[in-house]
Amino acid sequence: MNNHVHDAPLKHSDAEVTQLLRDAGQRVTRLRVAVYKTLLEAEQPLSHPEVQQRLENSMESPVDRVSLYRNLEWLVDIGLAHRITADDRVWRFSARRQEHSEQHPHFHCVSCGQVFCLPDSQLAAPKLPKNYSVIEMELVVNGLCAHCGRKK
């Protein structure tokens, strides 16, 4: 059962995704469009293998895992996606969505592995020593989703 708090993902045309990448001032390739479109249309953050499987199903051809990793990292680096790391040490990737602030908490079910965005809460940066600055904060709440909690 998916407790994901996003509305149902919207379908995006290749032209729309291409324009989003161009608006970000980035060079457009077929794989970049496909990877970003996969993240935009995902109902929850996806691991590298999950993205690869979805791409191979939609493109009907193999996707080089190193090229995929580089494209996922590239989307993170330019700010169009973010990387979430839960206690299972699996990186999951999600398109940055307008309904969330840049830094928002996530929930990770330790039983089924599902990760989803939590409603925004005002995460205050911790008080840092002089001349230190926050670049990014990540908060992952580990627990049991409603479905797995009922099974216990």
Write out the residue range of the structural domain in which residue 137 sits: 14-151
Q: What is the mean pLDDT of residues 19-24?
A: 90
pLDDT over 80 (residue 30)? yes
What are the tens digits of pLDDT across the range 33-81? 999 999 999 988 899 999 999 999 998 889 999 999 999 999 999 989 9
State the Cα–Cα distance between residues 38 and 95, nearest whole angstrom: 9
State the Cα–Cα distance between residues 9 and 118, nearest whole angstrom: 16
- Where is the binding site for Zn(2+), in residues? 109, 112, 145, 148
Q: What is the mean pLDDT of residues 93-97?
A: 84
How many domains does one find in the chain?
1
Q: What is the mean pLDDT of residues 4-19?
A: 72
Contact by Cβ (8 Å): 39, 92: no
In this predicted structure, what is the pLDDT of residue 99? 45
Residues with Cβ within 8 Å of residue 137, at least 6 apart in sequence: 103, 123, 125
Q: Which DSSP symbol is given to 48?
A: H
Does residue 1 fall inside a structural domain? Answer: no
Does residue 4 fall inside a structural domain? Answer: no
What are the tens digits of pLDDT across the range 120-142? 666 677 788 999 887 777 777 88
Question: Which residue in 88, 55, 89, 90 sits closest to 71, CA to CA?
Answer: 55
- Where is the binding site for Fe cation, in residues? 100
State the Cα–Cα distance between residues 102 and 113, nearest whole angstrom: 23
Does residue 91 fall inside a structural domain? Answer: yes
pTM of the predicted structure, to 2 decimals: 0.70
- Where is the binding site, in residues? 100, 109, 112, 145, 148
CATH code at position 110: 1.10.10.10
